[in-house]
Amino acid sequence: MNIVRMTPLLLSVLLAASASAEISRDDLKKALDANPDLVLSALKKADKMKFFEIVVESQQEYQKNKGQEAAKRERQELEKAFKNPLKPVIGGDARTRGNADAPITIVEYSDFQCPYCVQGYKNLEQLRKTYGAKLRVVFKNFPLDFHPMALPAAQWFEALALQSPEKAWTFHDTLFENQSKLGEDYFKLLAKDLGLDVEKAAKDAKSDAVKNKIEADIKEGKGFGVEGTPAYLINGVPLRGAYPVKAFEEIISKLQAPK
């Protein structure tokens, strides 16, 4: 065993164990550098319960530090985004709800089969009620590979939007409210109930136009660092994950605060 390849966790355990001995941490490290075989010998003779406690404490400290580092990076990214917001494409084929002139726009990258996106859908509905005409919501497809019905659902959503954007939103809501029913037969049933052309929708779902639209959504999301769902841009400020309504409101409040 080479000491330079020793994990930080194991080294911290050995250094912690030296605290009760009459040897400095530097001296211990030098001794281990010169005699790496002492590591195995020390572990064999160590009090197993004490060793286990040190390992657990070291792991907890490591996880705590990693969490603090991640939170710090997220805060820094958020502050940077307020100054230089991201700019998603919201063109004529965007799936939007709300006033185009609304002061707040939330762009959502979502997966119809993602369980966390169900709560995301509910959160956005609550925000729409709270902010009314002040809020616009834009839906972007981000079907994940390990959700087999996510892409077909996105394809049908986009296909129905070609016939009626308004009824496509009803389809969108119904899927999130009945996520366990996702499937081709269910998509066709909903399209029929909405009074839309089922055969045309089935054909459009496989079209290049729909394929390109979904691929553009995914590419844009990945370009903004989206890796999972749900993910949001609130006036260009990213919020990635299944955050509660309060997190959205805090960002909106800061966006609306006097400069």
pLDDT-derived band at 66 (thresholds 50, 70, 90) equals low
Closest CA to 138 of 168, 110, 92, 105: 105
Give me the domain span that covers residue 29. Answer: 3-83
189: in domain: yes
Is 209 found in the same domain as 139? yes
Question: What is the maximum alpha-carbon separation in the chain?
Answer: 84
What's the Cα-to-Cα distance from 112 to each of 33, 56, 209, rounded to whole Å? 55, 39, 20
* Burial category of 14 from C-beta neighbours within 10 Å (exposed 0-12, middle 13-18, buried 19 and up): buried
Is 79 found in the same domain as 18? yes
Is the separation of the CB atoms in 88 and 233 below 8 Å?
yes
pLDDT tens digits, residue range 120-174?
999 999 999 999 999 999 999 999 999 999 999 999 999 999 999 999 999 999 9
* Total domains in the fold of the chain: 2
Residue 230 belongs to domain with CATH number: 3.40.30.10
pLDDT tens digits, residue range 199-247?
999 999 999 999 999 999 999 999 999 999 999 999 999 999 999 999 9
Is 72 found in the same domain as 102? no
Q: What is the dihedral of CA 85, 124, 165, 203, to 10 degrees?
A: 90
Segment 19-47 mean pLDDT: 64
Is 132 found in the same domain as 99? yes
Domain boundary among the residues 63, 83, 103 is at 83
Is 210 found in the same domain as 124? yes
Is 77 found in the same domain as 15? yes
Is 148 found in the same domain as 219? yes
Is 209 found in the same domain as 161? yes
Kindly give, in sequence order, each residue whose CB lies less than 8 Å from that of residue 53, ignoring residues fewer than 6 positions away.
none
90: in domain: no
pLDDT-derived band at 42 (thresholds 50, 70, 90) equals low
- Crossing angle (nearest 10°) for helices 198-205 and 208-223: 50
Segment 60-70 mean pLDDT: 67
User: Taking the CB of residue 237, how many other CB atoms lie within 10 A of it?
Assistant: 21
Residue in the structure block whose two tokens are 């211990």: 28
Q: Is the pLDDT of residue 3 over 80?
A: no
pTM of the full structure: 0.74
156: in domain: yes
